[in-house]
C-alpha cells in the first residue's frame, strides 16, 4: 500500500512537472487520476475523453482567445497622441495594460455533469520607453524643411520580467504556511512609428482653445509575452446529471506565450484647452500576424459533496485528478481599434492618459515624458 502511494505521487509529480515547466505544446492534452481512491472516483476513467474535449472547446479555447485579443491590443498601442502635431523632440516612458473582462462559463461534460462557474479572463501588458523627433529638426533652414517638418518618427522598446505574488503566508494554525497565487510576466517590445501631419495646427491661434491638427500614423510593432499564472486552493463545483454534486479542489496553472507583429494604421486629432490640457481622439485598424502557445492544467482531489469523510477532512483514500488542456486562440488578421486621451502640459513635462478599445477588450495607457 505504501509503495503504491509513493508510486502514484511520483507519477503525479512527473506529470505536473511536464505541465508546469515545459513548453505548453510539449505536453499533449491529458487527464489522469492518482491515488488509492481512483477506482471509486465520481469522475470515472470512462469519462476522461469527454472531459478533455469539453474543457478544450468550452474553456481552454475561449480563454486562449481572450488572452490573445488582450495581447494584440497591448501591442497595437503606440506612443501617446499628445499634442497631435509634434514639432520638436520627445522622450518618455509608459505602459499599456489591457483586459478582456472576466466571464464565467459552465462546462458541460457528457455522462458526468456541469462544471459550474469556470472563469475566463484575458490580460495584456506592454511597458515601453520611447523617443520621437520631428524630421524638420534635421532640415532647418533648408528647402527640405517644409516637407520634412510634416513627418514625426518614434522608436519604442522594452524588455523585462515581473513576478507578482507567490509569497508563503499562514492560513490557519493547523494548515500552516501555504503559497499565494503567483503571476509571472516576461515582456518584450520593439516598435517604430511614422506620423504624417495631414493638417498642421495654426501656431498663431489662441492656445486657450485651438484645434491641434490631424495626423496619419503607421507603425511596425513586435511584441513577445510569456505569462504564467498559478492559482492555489481553488474549488470547482460539478453538478451531476443524476442530481448529486462533485467537488474538485486543487491548484491551477495557465501558461501562454505570444509572438505578435502588428502594423497599426491610425488617424488622430484633438483640441487644446486652457493651454495646459489636450483632448485627443484616434482610431484605425491594425494588421496582425503571430503565433500563440497556451495550456492550462489543474491537479487536486475530487470527491462527492455528500462524502462527509472528505468534507470534514477525515483520512480516506484520495482520488487526485490531473487535467492538462492546450487552448487554441487564433490571432485575428485585422483588428479595428480606437482610443481617447488627455494630456496635461506642465511646461516641458507631459502626462498622458489614454483609454483604448478593440471589440470587447479595454485598455489604459499612461505615460510621462518631456517635449521640447
- Band (310; pLDDT cuts 50, 70, 90): low
Q: What is the pLDDT of residue 81?
A: 86
pLDDT band, residue 163 (cuts 50/70/90): confident
Averaged over 99-111, what is the pLDDT? Answer: 90
Distance of alpha carbon 253 from alpha carbon 258, whole angstroms: 17
CA distance 256 to 71: 11
Q: Is the per-residue pLDDT at 19 higher than 90?
A: no
- CA atoms of 79 and 217, how far apart (whole Å): 11
Contact assessment for residue 32 and residue 256, using Cβ atoms and an 8 Å cutoff = no
Q: Domain range spanning residue 115?
A: 2-371
Please state the domain count of the chain.
Answer: 1
What is the C-alpha separation between 89 and 135, in angstroms, rounded? 9
Q: Sign of dihedral through CA atoms 51, 53, 57, 62?
A: positive
Could you give the count of Cα atoms lying within 13 Å of 325 in the half-sphere of its Cβ? 24
Q: Is 242 exposed, middle or buried (0-12, 13-18, 19+ CB in 10 A)?
A: exposed
- The radius of gyration of the chain from alpha carbons, rounded to an integer in Å, stands at 26
Burial of 105 (0-12, 13-18, 19+ CB in 10 A): middle
- The answer on pLDDT for 79 being more than 90 is no
Residue 81 neighbours by CB under 8 Å, 6+ apart: 215, 268, 270, 278, 280, 282, 339, 341, 343, 352, 354
Complete DSSP assignment for 189-234: EEEEEEEEEEE---TTS-TTEEEEEEEEEEEEEEEEEEEEEEEEEE
Residue 210 scores a pLDDT above 70: yes
Global pTM reads 0.82
200/215 Cα distance (integer angstroms): 8
For the record, the C-alpha cell of 187 comes out as: 515582456
In angstroms, rounded to a whole number, what is the distance separating the alpha carbons of residues 324 and 246? 19
The answer for residues whose C-beta is within 8 angstroms of residue 272's C-beta and 6 or more apart is 83, 207, 209, 210, 211, 212, 278
Residue-level pLDDT at 185:
85
301 and 315 Cβ atoms separated by less than 8 Å: no
Residue 242: phi and psi, rounded to 5, are: -80, -10
Going by pLDDT thresholds of 50, 70 and 90, the confidence category of residue 315 is low
Q: Which residues neighbour 327 within 8 Å (Cβ) at sequence distance 6 or greater?
A: 56, 59, 60, 61, 62, 63, 64, 65, 294, 295, 296
Q: What does each C-alpha distance from 289 to 72, 229, 260 come to in angstroms?
A: 10, 25, 6
User: 178 falls in which pLDDT band (50, 70, 90)?
Assistant: low
Between 206 and 175, the more confident residue is 206
Residue-wise pLDDT tens digits, 350-361: 999 999 999 999
Q: What is the mean pLDDT of the chain?
A: 85
- pLDDT of residue 14 exceeding 50: no
Please report which confidence band the pLDDT of residue 24 belongs to, taking 50, 70 and 90 as the band edges.
very low
Give the cell for residue 252. Answer: 491551477
CA distance 73 to 70: 5
Burial of residue 309 (CB within 10 Å: 0-12, 13-18, 19+) is exposed
SS3 27: coil
DSSP strands (E only) in the chain? 30-34, 89-109, 113-134, 151-165, 168-172, 176-179, 182-199, 209-240, 245-273, 277-304, 320-326, 334-346, 349-358, 361-371
Q: Please give the C-alpha separations between residue 153 and each of 87, 143, 356, in angstroms, as whole numbers.
A: 11, 20, 22
Amino acid at each position: 500500500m505504501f509503495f503504491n502511494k509513493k508510486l502514484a505521487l511520483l507519477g503525479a509529480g512527473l506529470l505536473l512537472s511536464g505541465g508546469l515547466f515545459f513548453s505548453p505544446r510539449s505536453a499533449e492534452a491529458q487527464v489522469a487520476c492518482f491515488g488509492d481512491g481512483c477506482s471509486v472516483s465520481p469522475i470515472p476513467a470512462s469519462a476522461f475523453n469527454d472531459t478533455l474535449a469539453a474543457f478544450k472547446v468550452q474553456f481552454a479555447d475561449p480563454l486562449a482567445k481572450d488572452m490573445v485579443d488582450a495581447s494584440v491590443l497591448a501591442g497595437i498601442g503606440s506612443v501617446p497622441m499628445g499634442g497631435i502635431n509634434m514639432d520638436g523632440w520627445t522622450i518618455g516612458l509608459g505602459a499599456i495594460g489591457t483586459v478582456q473582462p472576466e466571464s464565467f462559463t459552465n462546462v458541460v461534460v457528457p455522462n458526468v455533469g456541469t462544471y459550474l462557474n469556470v472563469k475566463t479572463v484575458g490580460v495584456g501588458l506592454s511597458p515601453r520607453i520611447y523617443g520621437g523627433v520631428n524630421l524638420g529638426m534635421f532640415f532647418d533652414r533648408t528647402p527640405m524643411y517644409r516637407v520634412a517638418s510634416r513627418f514625426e518618427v518614434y522608436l519604442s522598446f522594452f524588455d523585462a520580467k515581473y513576478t507578482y505574488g507567490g509569497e508563503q503566508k499562514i492560513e490557519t494554525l493547523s494548515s500552516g504556511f501555504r503559497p499565494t497565487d503567483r503571476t509571472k510576466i516576461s515582456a518584450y517590445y520593439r516598435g517604430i512609428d511614422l506620423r504624417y501631419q495631414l493638417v498642421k495646427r495654426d501656431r498663431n491661434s489662441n492656445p486657450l482653445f485651438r484645434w491641434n491638427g490631424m495626423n496619419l500614423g503607421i507603425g511596425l510593432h513586435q511584441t513577445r509575452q510569456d505569462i504564467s499564472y498559478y492559482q492555489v486552493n481553488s474549488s470547482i463545483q460539478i453538478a451531476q446529471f443524476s442530481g448529486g454534486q462533485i467537488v474538485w479542489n486543487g491548484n491551477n496553472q495557465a501558461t501562454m506565450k505570444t509572438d505578435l507583429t502588428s502594423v497599426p494604421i491610425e488617424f488622430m486629432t484633438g483640441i487644446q484647452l486652457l493651454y495646459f490640457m489636450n483632448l485627443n481622439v484616434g482610431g484605425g485598424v491594425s494588421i496582425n500576424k503571430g503565433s500563440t502557445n497556451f495550456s492550462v492544467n489543474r491537479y487536486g482531489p475530487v470527491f462527492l459533496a455528500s462524502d462527509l469523510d472528505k468534507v470534514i477532512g477525515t483520512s480516506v483514500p484520495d482520488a487526485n485528478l490531473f487535467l492538462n488542456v492546450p487552448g487554441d486562440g487564433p490571432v485575428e488578421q485585422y483588428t479595428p481599434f480606437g482610443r481617447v486621451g488627455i494630456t496635461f502640459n506642465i511646461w516641458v513635462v507631459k502626462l498622458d492618459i489614454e483609454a483604448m478599445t478593440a471589440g470587447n477588450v479595454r485598455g489604459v495607457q499612461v505615460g510621462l515624458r518631456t517635449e521640447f
